[in-house]
A and B are shown apart, each in its own frame.
Chain A
């Protein structure tokens, strides 16, 4: 009897060590991932001297400090005393047209995603559900394209766009990304789990193949589309490489990551407070989107099919 209880205790104990270990590892991982964010938020709240001397903990002392730039403009010193948080965030919006950049970011990422879906769904449907000559070869090509890194084709792409006179336009930011092999692959895998009977039922009901894609496949694929949407939007919202290449002069077309550059390498040195404030503002939309879509996102990743 007592042995049995000991046994139970033993198993319970063993189980909890393992769980504890798992949690320690996960916590460490989470800390490593979150540390840069912590720094980013912390710096966006502090005054410049606190940032330089690395004092003030997370929030800083929140004392008023003198804004040198304001003084240089000839204002009285007491008019130029500012609160660090207010200074950092207002400077972020004043020094660069941050709202414009955010808007550009939205236009670009949303256009990319919408066109990607318009291209990927019919492709994925054909690859998953239609029988045609060469289907396997086409799918193998899709898999092959997954292996090509963006940077490898950046130069030819740039040259083509330049020849077409499309550099420094929204089109240059959007067009190269409209065909997403990853999207085609992901949706194709999802469509494979949709029962053939459902498609046949739609055909019996009189839907055309495109009707089936938009009226049957699209609604059933929402979880997978959400997952793809998050991958796509995060990737293109945060992309620094491509916009940096094709947007050379026109600041009106800057996307948010390009906006960050405005705070770098000024004559009066780096201005970390406003820069981190900008970074915070840039990532906020993504975090909000993710929190809103979290459950659907995880459903989509596990690709839980029908039934």
Chain B
């Protein structure tokens, strides 16, 4: 049982509160992603979990045991850093062996030169473990090299290897892919997911990249300015964000938002058109959110816009439309065949899928809403 639980964690640096009463439970074997914009406190939360940073208030427990005041090494967690943080003067094999040496050898066994002679058996076991992990990660040929002689991707693997040898309760990763080039990053996503499936260990993964969070996690926690706004499986968070900030942050291109108003007769006034609402019916200013893939071109569409820009991704084309009454360009996903018929600066008609419309209060909270699927005139 190694359920990890963070309870009401608070942390300030000087006067600035960085974490405000953050709580999160992580089940054993789960791949949990902390995602949020830069500076929202993800790294700080992870460092508090690892023990590298001390929380001002709150409790960290691992497997039911309170570890709030336990040293990092004794929490048996392993961390992978964005900069890899390999020891530059040690070979790859020695880098990977360091956590084992610190854990399994007594003081005298760690002495240079004579240590390996005195504790020969332990060394042999450790070398076996290192070799095994190196096999898994396919870095055996690199074992004798120094980190300076490795490429970014290789260093990344070595850093993973150093985390894996000690078979920790959980892996903590702080933006481990940010320093890789785009192609390698996508490849490593798949590989990390695969590794997680094989090891069945808990992964806590920090990233500012919502795509990474969506592709890899079992559950993701969206953080903003020191709070966790929503926790849930990626699909759930994408389709059902509980507030406007989450909806805006998750998804690329970002969700379209419009200022709108629920009128006293229960109609929704939206960029020059009124839509019938089934619920709610109380009069209020609201924000309407709708994702690009829930808008579609249609000759009989109720909305009109001028094509300002075509963003061609090959499989999809995103059309950026200037729509009268909307503050920002509206982004709409079209398939390439449809998009081919559209010329720049021309007028197009489009419509929305009513059951996919998200409604938010002016404070940003989500409103349960149902739009009539059929307009009755």
Which A residues contact B (CB, under 8 angstroms)?
A: 195, 197-198, 200-207, 211, 216, 219-220, 222, 306
Decide: A206 and B82 in contact? CB cutoff 8 A.
no
Q: How far is the CA of A207 from the CA of B102 in the complex (A)?
A: 7
Q: Which residues from B are CB-within-8-Å of A306?
A: 88
Task: State which of B77, B82, B98, B99 has its C-beta within 8 Å of the C-beta of A197.
Answer: B82
* B 69-99 contacts with A by CB, 8 A: 72-74, 77-79, 81-90, 98-99
Give a binary string over B45-75; 1 marks a CB under 8 Å from any A CB, 0 the rest. Answer: 0010010100000000000000000001110
Q: Of A198, A200, A222, which is within 8 A of B87 by CB?
A: A198
Residues B52 and A205 in contact, CB atoms below 8 Å apart: no
Q: Given that A197-B81, A197-B82, A197-B83 are known contacts, is A204 also in contact with B88, CB under 8 Å in the complex?
A: no
Please name all residues of chain A whose beta carbon is closer than 8 Å to the beta carbon of B79 when the two chains form the complex: 200-201, 204
**Separation of A306 and B47 alpha carbons in the complex (Å):** 23
| A204 contacts B87, C-beta separation under 8 Å | no
Produce 1/0 per residue, B269-289, CB < 8 A to A. 000000000000000000000
Q: Which chain A positions have C-beta within 8 A of B347? A: none
Contact A195 B85 (CB under 8 A): yes
Q: B99 near A205 (CB under 8 angstroms)?
A: yes
Q: Does residue B103 face the partner (Cβ distance < 8 Å to A)? A: yes
Which of B78, B86, B89 is in CB contact (< 8 Å) with A204? B78
The answer to whether B87 and A203 touch across the interface, beta carbons within 8 angstroms, is: no
In the assembled complex, the Cα of A42 lies from the Cα of B125 at a distance in Å of 64
Q: Which residue of A lies closest to B172 (CB)?
A: A204
Question: By the criterion CB–CB under 8 Å, are A201 and B85 in contact?
Answer: yes
Q: Mark B282-299, 1 if CB is under 8 A from A, else 0.
A: 000000000000000000
B88 touches A220 (CB 8 A): yes
Of all chain A residues, the one with the shortest Cβ separation from B103 is A206
Least Cβ–Cβ distance between A133 and chain B, in angstroms: 13
Contacts of B81 in A (CB 8 A): 197, 200-201
Q: Can you pick out 7 interface pairs between chain A and chain B where the beta carbons lie within 8 Å of each other?
A: A198-B87, A200-B47, A200-B81, A201-B87, A205-B98, A205-B102, A219-B87
Are B83 and A206 in contact (CB-based, < 8 A)? Answer: no
Check B85 against A206 for contact (C-beta < 8 Å). no
The answer to whether B89 and A206 have CB atoms under 8 Å apart is no
Instruction: Establish whether residues A203 and B88, one from each chain, have CB atoms under 8 Å apart when the complex forms.
Output: no
B73 touches A205 (CB 8 A): yes
Q: How far is the CA of A220 from the CA of B90 in the complex (A)?
A: 10
The answer on a CB contact under 8 Å between A203 and B52 is yes
Min CB gap A50→B, angstroms = 54
Q: Say whether A204 contacts B98, CB under 8 Å.
A: no
Give the CA-CA distance A203 to B83 in the complex, in Å: 16
Contact A206 B52 (CB under 8 A): no
| CA–CA, A252 and B45, complex, Å | 63
Known contacts A205-B73, A205-B98, A206-B73; is A200 also within 8 Å of B52 by CB?
A: yes
* Chain B contacts with A in 130-169, Cβ cutoff 8 A: 162
Q: Would A206 and B99 count as touching, CB distance under 8 A? A: yes
Which residues of the partner chain A approach B103 to less than 8 Å between Cβ atoms?
206
| B73 engages A203 (CB within 8 Å) | yes
CA distance A54 to B47 in the complex (A): 74
CA distance A252 to B13 in the complex (A): 59
Q: Does B50 lie within 8 Å of A219, measured CB to CB?
A: no
Contact A206 B102 (CB under 8 A): yes
Contact A204 B82 (CB under 8 A): no
Bound complex: CA A206 to CA B105 (Å): 11
Residues of B within 8 A of A201 (CB): 79, 81, 85-87, 162
Q: How far is the CA of A195 from the CA of B77 in the complex (A)?
A: 21
Q: Is the CB of A200 within 8 A of B88?
A: no
A112 to chain B, nearest CB (A): 24
A-side contacts of B87, CB under 8 Å: 198, 201-202, 216, 219-220
A279 vs B120: C-alpha distance when bound (angstroms): 52
Q: Which residues of B contact A206 (CB under 8 A)?
A: 73-74, 99, 102-103
CA distance A287 to B83 in the complex (A): 40
Check if A204 sits within 8 Å of B83, measured CB to CB: no
Question: Complex: how many Å from CA A306 to CA B85?
Answer: 11
| Docked complex Cα distance between A148 and B89 (Å) | 36
Q: Contact check: which of A200, A207, A211, A219 meets B85 at CB < 8 Å?
A: A200
A195 to B174 CA separation, bound complex (whole angstroms): 15
Q: How many Å from the CB of B251 to the closest CB on chain A?
A: 31
Are B102 and A198 in contact, with the CB atoms below 8 A?
no
A202 proximity list for chain B (CB < 8 A) = 87, 98
Which residues of chain B (201-259) have a CB below 8 Å from chain A?
A: none
- The minimal Cβ–Cβ distance linking B104 to chain A, given in whole angstroms, is 10
CB distance from A244 to the nearest CB of B (A): 40
| Identity of the chain B residue whose Cβ is nearest the Cβ of A200 in the assembled complex | B52
Known contacts A200-B52, A205-B99, A205-B102; is A195 also within 8 Å of B83 by CB?
Answer: yes
Cα–Cα, bound, A222→B88 (Å): 12
Which residues of B have CB within 8 Å of A197? 81-85
Instruction: Write out the residue numbers on chain B whose beta carbons fall within 8 Å of the beta carbon of A205.
Output: 73, 98-99, 102, 162
The chain A residue sitting closest to B159, CB to CB, is A201
Chain A residues, Cβ within 8 Å of B90 = 219
B248 to chain A, nearest CB (A): 31
Residue numbers in B under 8 Å from A195 (CB-CB): 83, 85
Question: How far apart sit A268 and B168, CA to CA, in the bound complex (Å)?
Answer: 80
Contacting residues, chain B, for A207 (C-beta < 8 A): 73, 102
